[in-house]
Structure 1
Amino acid sequence: MQTSSRFPAPPAAPTVDAPRTLEIAAIPADGIGHDVVGAGREVVDALAAASGGRFSVNWTEYDWGSDYYAKHGVMMPADGREQVADKDAIFFGAVGWPTVPDHVSLWGLRLALCQGFDQWANIRPVQFLPGITSPLRAADEKDLDWIVVRENSEGEYSGFGGRNFAGRPDHQEFSVQSAVFSEYGSERIIRFAFELAMTRPRRKLSKVTKSNAQQHGMVLWDDVFDRVAADYPEVTTESVLVDAMAAKFVLKPGDLDVVVASNLHADVLSDLGSALAGSLGLASSANLNPERRFPSMFEPVHGSAPDIAGKGIANPLGAIGSAALMLEHLGLPEEAAAIHRAIEETTRRGVLTPDVGGTATTADVTRAVIDHLALVPAAVA
């Protein structure tokens, strides 16, 4: 592993040599978050039950979210982070509800956890699953598989700025929103992306930038990338403007492997990638604190979907895939791989929710994934 003195190698995933109980905080939050977190828990519990005592899970559920806000005026209690700080991981649903302004719900819960626990690396795989029709014609001709690595602690979502002069007449209030790019924050996510690229057969890393228009923050981003790239001569690199990268996702998806981007750019591009794969309901993600000083958080990429909340038709695969990422992070790679393969078998056999052209319910898909775990030799260590 290539490292600098400021960025020592992060701790490896813990090995499971003896029976182990995972302490997981479950935060369904809002809308379909309750459905999909429940689905993910069922799959993990099924694996644990079949593990022969290799591992078990102790779930602690927290009722934070927009309903909590309606009762208490905050999305989570003031000591919320302290309540979950000693957990092995956080399994999160989705945040947002029509009765709460989006910036209040996001900053009051999800970003409060991500930034408070320095979960600076956000990993978002783009997965093209069998049995799901992609709107991208190239998906029928190529084996498409790439990962978006998102800087998750600063950039455009730093929260620096404010609104002023609200008392002026004739709508003369103004606001300032500043993006923050630090050399430290840029280097650690870029180095993380290079290390990830080194583990993949193609060893290619695409950097997303907008330094032609953002001549300060993104030029620093570019400069740090070029400096770190010198430590990884085995990795092929390219620099692509964010607008050109959006086009590349559609026109040349087979050219993608690992994509590293700023907080905002990666957020948008990963949603585009998941839409090309068929649905945002398929997209999993991991908000990592690679040093393991704090718990990492695992969540589907989709929102709370108030229009289908409570109807039992939400796609649980993004959450179930996120549960697989969680188990891998916690030292259970065989179990994680079993979930991924069970997801593929489920979609291959056409057990699909309405968002991807099927008629199955959330419960149907969850049960199919659990049933298909038995078909995977690696399901039980």
Structure 2
Amino acid sequence: MSYDIALIPGDGIGPEVVDATLPILDAAATAADFDVETTRYDWGTDRYLNEGAMMPEDGLDRLASHDAILLGAVGHPDVPDHVTLNGLLLPIRKGFDQSICKRPAVLFEGVDSPLKGYSGGDIDVLVFRENTEGEYADVGGREHRGYDNEVAVQSAVYTRRSTERIVRAAFEAATERSGHLTNVTKSNAQAHGMVFWDDIVSEVSEEYPGVEVERLLVDAASMDMVRRPDEFDVLVCSNLFGDILTDVGAIVTGSMGLAPSANIDPGRDNPSMFEPVHGSAFDIMGEGVANPLATVLSGSLMFEHLGEDAAATALWDAVTDQLADADAPRTADLGGESGTEAVAADLRDRL
């Protein structure tokens, strides 16, 4: 069996973590008796600065034939974030109907949380983030630019199709885990879209009587992700709220360098995309110190999605073992002094 993976290393440290991860993916694949073939697309901000677009007009057509996409990072300090985001990442998510975003936040053994009283295994949260609409829908505009009466309108969009998809996926995961789901909205202030979301959660919950549903407003959920993260299991939330809460989750579990992400087309009509949650980190670009573990864990999620459970488990276990080993190399974000390649080489040895 062979899988054709599209690589978009992207910006900043993206190429560094992707290049470090590829031999690790190959090692896990070889051990599980399948092959990984890759096609590299050097799309990103360098292309934007040279050609005026993050990716070519036929970019989605070129990606469509691949089994999955592995993305490094997107963003550049000299280009506004809305340009880079809307030029590459969001078109891929929306164009390929990647409406389900899964982001685990796990406090691994051997990793220190900035919160007192938590040790390895105490925090294990899986966030389901609606990924193609909500607050990130490009609906709205600006009028009377430059005048005193200038106005900007940004509309959030919630469809029954996408909302039911993400809610049902979260309930399925909660059924397989501890049977507890937290629904995060802001329905006290957003009486149309968020109340609609709450209504759908209530409807779908009737299909899963074994799942206990907790309902929180996003401000309370943000507070509780710091105050009591061990009490959460599965969270389901809209695009913006999921984006914010998963950054909080990454930090309370030790580092953005440990946070993977899966952008999934639940219909499997298009390739799904896997990426570390961290950004392009231009401040450390080229220094060889970027943490590759979030990209490796994203590779684990990719193999899981492709049905290669043995390879997915091997990758996740290798990272778990490395972090639990006090003598293993680790990067500066985890309190160590090792570089990207040392961490990657140690993972290859463990595999």
Q: Which runs of 5+ in 1 are unaligned?
A: 1-19, 374-381
1:140 maps to 2:119: yes
Look up the SS of the partner of 2:282 in the other structure.
Answer: coil
Look up the SS of the partner of 2:290 in the other structure.
Answer: coil
Inter-CA distance 78–234: structure 2 relative to 1 (3 Å threshold): same
State the Cα deviation string for residues 168-191 of structure 1 (Å, max 9, x = none): 3x5x42211111112222111101
State the Cα deviation string for residues 224-279 of structure 1 (Å, max 9, x = none): 10011011101111101111111111111121110000000010000100100111
CA contact 2:109–2:119 (8 Å) conserved in 1: no
The alignment's TM-score, normalised by the length of structure 2, stands at 0.97
CA contact 1:298–1:326 (8 Å) conserved in 2: yes
1:11 matched to which residue of 2?
Answer: none
Say which is worse superposed, 205-214 or 179-188, in terms of deviation.
179-188
1:377 matched to which residue of 2?
Answer: none
1:245 maps to 2:187: no
1:368 maps to 2:349: no
Look up the SS of the partner of 1:179 in the other structure.
Answer: strand
RMSD: 1.2
The alignment's TM-score, normalised by the length of structure 1, stands at 0.90
CA distance in 2, matches of 1:146, 1:167: 45
The amino acid of 1:38's aligned partner reads D
State the Cα deviation string for residues 146-171 of structure 1 (Å, max 9, x = none): 10100001100011111121153x5x
1:164 matched to which residue of 2?
Answer: 143
1:194 maps to 2:171: yes
1:359 matched to which residue of 2?
Answer: 337
State the Cα deviation string for residues 198-249 of structure 1 (Å, max 9, x = none): 111x111110011001111000000110011011101111101111111111
- Deviation of residue 312 (structure 1)? 0.6
CA distance in 2, matches of 1:325, 1:142: 19
CA contact 2:136–2:156 (8 Å) conserved in 1: yes
The 5-angstrom pairing of residues 152-301 of structure 1 reads 152-168=131-147, 170=148, 172-200=149-177, 202-301=178-277
1:32 matched to which residue of 2?
Answer: 13
Look up the SS of the partner of 1:129 in the other structure.
Answer: coil
- Deviation of residue 140 (structure 1)? 2.6
2:31 matched to which residue of 1?
Answer: 50
Inter-CA distance 34–84: structure 2 relative to 1 (3 Å threshold): same
Look up the SS of the partner of 2:163 in the other structure.
Answer: helix
CA distance in 1, matches of 2:127, 2:216: 14
1:101 maps to 2:80: yes
- Deviation of residue 141 (structure 1)? 8.1
- Deviation of residue 142 (structure 1)? 6.2
CA distance in 2, matches of 1:164, 1:135: 45
CA distance in 2, matches of 1:131, 1:257: 21
- Deviation of residue 347 (structure 1)? 1.2
- Deviation of residue 101 (structure 1)? 1.3
Say which is worse superposed, 172-181 or 69-78, in terms of deviation.
172-181
Match of 1:84 among 59, 63, 66: 63
CA contact 1:142–1:254 (8 Å) conserved in 2: no
CA distance in 1, matches of 2:39, 2:48: 20
1:9 matched to which residue of 2?
Answer: none
The amino acid of 2:194's aligned partner reads M
CA contact 2:21–2:292 (8 Å) conserved in 1: yes
CA contact 1:88–1:295 (8 Å) conserved in 2: yes
CA contact 2:11–2:280 (8 Å) conserved in 1: yes
The amino acid of 2:244's aligned partner reads V
Look up the SS of the partner of 1:140 in the other structure.
Answer: coil
- Deviation of residue 290 (structure 1)? 1.3
Runs of 4+ in 1 over 4 A off after TM superposition: none
CA contact 1:30–1:66 (8 Å) conserved in 2: yes
CA distance in 1, matches of 2:276, 2:120: 27
CA distance in 2, matches of 1:222, 1:195: 17
The amino acid of 2:68's aligned partner reads A
The 5-angstrom pairing of residues 64-83 of structure 1 reads 64-83=43-62
Match of 1:318 among 285, 294, 297: 294
Look up the SS of the partner of 1:147 in the other structure.
Answer: strand
CA distance in 2, matches of 1:48, 1:206: 35
The amino acid of 2:339's aligned partner reads T
CA contact 2:137–2:156 (8 Å) conserved in 1: yes
Look up the SS of the partner of 1:109 in the other structure.
Answer: helix
CA contact 1:30–1:97 (8 Å) conserved in 2: yes
CA contact 1:119–1:289 (8 Å) conserved in 2: yes
